[in-house]
Amino acid sequence: MAGETFPNGTVNEAGHSRVVIVGAGFAGLAAARELGNTEIDVTVIDRRNHNLFQPLLYQVATAALSPADVSEPIRRTLGRYRNIKVMLAEVTGIDAAAKDVKLDYGSSVPYDRLVIATGSEYNYFGHEDWRAWAPGLKTIHEARLIRQRLLLAFEKAELSQDPEEKKALLTSVIIGGGPTGVEMAGAISELGRFMITRDFRKLEPDNMRVILIEAGPKILAAFPDNLVQYAMKVLEKEGVEVRTNLPVASVTKDEVIAGSERIRTGCIIWGAGVKASPAARWLGVEGKAGGRIPVEPDLSVTGLPDIFAIGDTALGLEDGKPLPALAQVAKQQGEYVGKALRLRLLEDKPSGPFRFHNRGNTAVIGRNTAIFDFGRWTLKGRFAWFLWALVHVYLLVNFEKRLLVSIQWIWRYLTRQRGARLIDENAASFVPSSTQRTET
């Protein structure tokens, strides 16, 4: 391995093992940090130059936070680790036999061990044309697009002389009743009623509608019934119309058809399901459960012991059940793989199987209201909301982000003001990409 040159011009030192990590989300960053400042050459590849704290992305979409509050350049995050290189590139394939990662500009990166942490993207269930009118909430681009459409709808409604058009513009439709959908519904309702009361002279709160559509029998399907019923009551109190057992048949620029109902709308948000990145196709393996890569108890890809899959792109089983596609799972898997590789490559020691430690599943519903499911016990209301805020601030990437977000939350709590209500004058050309995904 002495003198071997990487595509970015760096040279692998003699005797150093090479670990390549594809994806710099929760899982990829956690693995990289565990390998930081060791005698292992680590290369992190991502097609974006920033990491993203996705759980707070809905607050960017509803003008509570700016994109910089929930993201940071990858080079800054990993810059203090002398053995980690960062590459801005898109992976197009993997040659497992040659141990090469193929990149979009025609080059490749060799590896001794490969970690795939490419995350997931929204699943439109065969209706990719819906993506243009119903963006999901996986990237900064999508969050800004949703914010753009929300704010523009209110501005257009203020100018409209047609009562029916005004009502349609002030109608927001969220498709999917999981945590993202519920959080978006509560946040849009709070934002809209505040703006109508404080900033708009020709709009009435009664004109505004927020409709949450779920194809299944209940929202928040992963939560126990007592928390679901509590969430339903809070959403209804906030003016959110919750529709269950209502599959969507059509989505166009300003209309949703669900069941037999035709809903004219000013803004549509998609949160109805996710699928894994195309990493299974790169490896030539059969993806399971939405394209996720089957892995062994040590998170190595079945049949490929030198390749590991973690986060949303991996189908890990525990007690015979698939692990959920959650940030806490991704982060724990990243930490585990990083430590396991360090033991194996530097000390020639094996590691035990990965075990997930559930620290609670949570969703925020609105101001002062959230729910927590810890398995054996649950929590709801104001205290759950404070705990949710504390946990999310703690999980932010560094002290600067924690301080900035905390100050803004306190100010927003006291004043109800939203500081990121900016509209791009080139909004008409603000079109979502058809290939957005998030790396976790």
Give the span between the Cα atoms of 324 and 321, in whole angstroms: 9
Q: Residue 200's CB: how many other CB atoms inside 10 A?
A: 15
Is residue 291 within 8 Å of residue 121, measured between CB atoms? no
Is residue 310 within 8 Å of residue 323, measured between CB atoms? no
Give the span between the Cα atoms of 357 and 5, in whole angstroms: 40
183 is a catalytic site residue: yes
Give the span between the Cα atoms of 159 and 409, in whole angstroms: 31
b/e per residue, 280-304, with b = 16+ CB within 10 A? bebbebebeebbbbbbbebbbbeeb
Give the span between the Cα atoms of 156 and 89, in whole angstroms: 40
SS3 state at 36: coil
From the list 34, 72, 183, 190, the catalytic residue is 183
Give the span between the Cα atoms of 44 and 256, in whole angstroms: 41
Give the span between the Cα atoms of 298 and 310, in whole angstroms: 10
Catalytic residues: 183
